[in-house]
Amino acid sequence: MSFDKQISSTILPANARMIQDLKALMKIFTPAYLLRAILFLIASYIVFFLVARFSGWLLFEKAGIEINPLPSQDWPKFIVTFVLFFTPSIYFFCSFIGRKFIALHGSKLALYMGCTFFGAMWYEIILDSFFVKCFGQPGWLYKIWPMYHGYTSGVGMWMWPLYGFFIYGMNQAIETNPKLVNFNNGAAKAFFFAIDAMALEILVNVFSILFFHTYLFYYLPGDLMHFTTIQIFIPYLFACGLGAALSWFLDRLKKNQWMIGLAFYTAGVICLLWIG
């Protein structure tokens, strides 16, 4: 292959993706796009409200579950159960969305998991500190292995890498399923992941209450049974926008993916244990 052909097969597709993302970003500010996004957000919130209320009714009224602190000696059991439940669930869900089993590339997956953990852990500390500064109280408090006033948790060392696995899997699914072509740009992915993060929070807390009779994290606003809240959507949209930009960059890293992912994960663990 000639040098010119190598350039056209590597750089041009990357430039085309950048142009596609910029066009999608400009489209956001059109009235039709904004209306569709608002209607989709409203519809999603109605679904979340119904699911949260129904789950709360099942857990608290029908099953009679009482919320109690989880003893520290049971934290390892929670983490093992959490990982064993959500790892295959994420994989099969992303494969279902993509209409095929997603391919797992170990080095790239490590890159996504390590970077997601480091970024998300610091973002939740900064964001919850911002809530305290501006509103006089945090937006949420972790109830299992709380760290830094409960703004983050030691569980994040496993939870956030799994979320990185989810982002990796959903990116694969969106790129391989032709029916999701409209989501295959940074702007749409940021909006989708912001909404999806709220859905995952509901699922995570239902899991935590069902099997361990406690919240993993407790949102102070009660509009969605303290599982999550609509108030977190804008901060998540901002975070997912940054994540979409980071994903665009990570997809272009071809060397040392294992080392970069491991370095970010190790740095995250050190920071978490140091501030904890």
Looking at the chain, list the stretches that DSSP marks H as alpha helix, in order from N- to C-terminal side: 3-27, 31-56, 75-98, 106-135, 156-176, 186-212, 233-250, 257-275
* Distance from C-alpha of 209 to C-alpha of 204, rounded to nearest angstrom: 9
**Tokens in use for 256?**
């040392």
| Residue 2 belongs to a domain | no
**Hey, is 152 helix, strand or coil?**
strand
The total domain count for the chain is 1
| Residue 48 belongs to a domain | yes
Give pLDDT, residue 7: 36
Give pLDDT, residue 4: 40
Out of 48-52, 153-157, 166-170, 185-189, pick the least confident: 185-189
DSSP state of 30: S
Check: CB of residue 118 under 8 Å from CB of residue 246. Answer: no
Provide the domain limits for residue 102. Answer: 10-275
- Span 105-129, mean pLDDT? 94
Out of 16-30, 62-76, 89-103, pick the least confident: 16-30
| Residue 165 belongs to a domain | yes
Nearest Cα residue to 273 out of 187, 152, 171: 152
Nearest Cα residue to 99 out of 171, 165, 176: 176
Q: What is the pLDDT of residues 179-212, one digit of tens each?
A: 887 787 778 888 999 999 999 999 999 999 999 9
Give pLDDT, residue 249: 74
Give pLDDT, residue 22: 58
- Span 126-142, mean pLDDT? 96
Q: Residue 11 — very low, low, confident or very high, per pLDDT cuts 50/70/90?
A: very low
| Residue 1 belongs to a domain | no
Nearest Cα residue to 150 out of 162, 135, 134, 138: 138
| Residue 4 belongs to a domain | no
pTM: 0.88
| Residue 210 belongs to a domain | yes
* Distance from C-alpha of 138 to C-alpha of 181, rounded to nearest angstrom: 38
Would the pLDDT of 8 be above 50?
Answer: no
- Span 219-245, mean pLDDT? 92
**Tokens in use for 191?**
């909006």
More confident residue, 218 or 7: 218
DSSP state of 63: S
More confident residue, 186 or 125: 125
Residue 112: partners with Cβ closer than 8 Å, 6 or more residues away = 164, 165, 167, 168, 247, 250, 261
Check: CB of residue 55 under 8 Å from CB of residue 224. Answer: no
Would the pLDDT of 234 be above 90?
Answer: yes
Would the pLDDT of 152 be above 60?
Answer: yes
| Residue 190 belongs to a domain | yes
**CA distances, 161 to each of 70, 193, 260 (Å):** 23, 15, 14
Give pLDDT, residue 21: 57
* Distance from C-alpha of 28 to C-alpha of 237, rounded to nearest angstrom: 13
Would the pLDDT of 26 be above 70?
Answer: no
Check: CB of residue 162 under 8 Å from CB of residue 120. Answer: no
Give pLDDT, residue 143: 97
Q: What is the pLDDT of residues 42-82, one digit of tens each?
A: 999 999 999 999 999 999 999 999 999 999 999 999 999 99
Would the pLDDT of 246 be above 50?
Answer: yes
| Residue 123 belongs to a domain | yes
Check: CB of residue 216 under 8 Å from CB of residue 153. Answer: yes
Mean pLDDT of the chain: 88
**Tokens in use for 137?**
């109280």
Handedness of CA 37, 38, 44, 45 (dihedral sign): positive
